[in-house]
Amino acid sequence: MEPIENVDQALAMIEYFDGAATDFDLPLADTLQDKIGMNMTSIEERAAERRWEIAGFEQMPGYRIYHFVDAE
């Protein structure tokens, strides 16, 4: 799995994914973890537009794989 290093690419992947939240994994490079959290806020807002929320992540060398579920 190749980590995403661009927030716009991550947003597009969320927007255009055709499937259930539980079938979607988002591998984000650690470089997207900015100090004030703007990148993750944008990603979480895009997921919320689909009524998804982050269910957790797996830490890998240099990136995290985020998992999603339907928001309650």
The predicted model scores a pTM of 0.93
Task: Estimate to the nearest angstrom the gap between the alpha carbon of 62 and the chain centroid.
Answer: 15
Instruction: Show the domain range for 35.
Output: 7-70
**pLDDT score of 59:** 97
Tell me the per-residue pLDDT of 19-65, one tens digit each, with 9 for 90 and over. 999 999 999 999 999 889 999 999 999 999 999 999 999 999 999 99
Number of domains the chain is built from: 1
2 in any annotated domain = no
Please report which confidence band the pLDDT of residue 72 belongs to, taking 50, 70 and 90 as the band edges. confident
1 in any annotated domain = no
43 in any annotated domain = yes
SS3 state of residue 46: helix
